[in-house]
Amino acid sequence: MLKGMTSQRLIALSLTGIVFLNFPLLALWDKDIHVLGWPLLPFGLFLIWGILIAALAWVMEKRKTS
């Protein structure tokens, strides 16, 4: 079972994901702008989703340095 700082980081990462993928902040991305040919909303969703996956991988693969 995960203990200590890893659990706290996973909880914080989950809460961050909930906040960033919830309506009030997603409304900021709903503009008529295109980035690399994509509308801004799907581009922002994939960007946030990718960052969350990368952060999750970093937290889970981090080795103890003690």
Sole residue written with tokens 């309506």: 23
| Token pair belonging to 12 | 């914080």
Q: Is residue 66 very low, low, confident or very high in pLDDT (cuts 50, 70, 90)?
A: very low
Packing angle, helices 40-61 and 5-20, rounded to 10: 180
pTM over cut 0.85: no
Residue-wise pLDDT for 11-62, tens only, equals 999 999 999 999 888 888 888 999 889 899 999 899 999 999 999 999 988 7
| Token pair belonging to 65 | 């340095």
Cα–Cα distance, 16 to 23 (Å, whole number)? 13
Cα–Cα distance, 2 to 10 (Å, whole number)? 10
Residue 62 CA, distance from chain mean position: 18
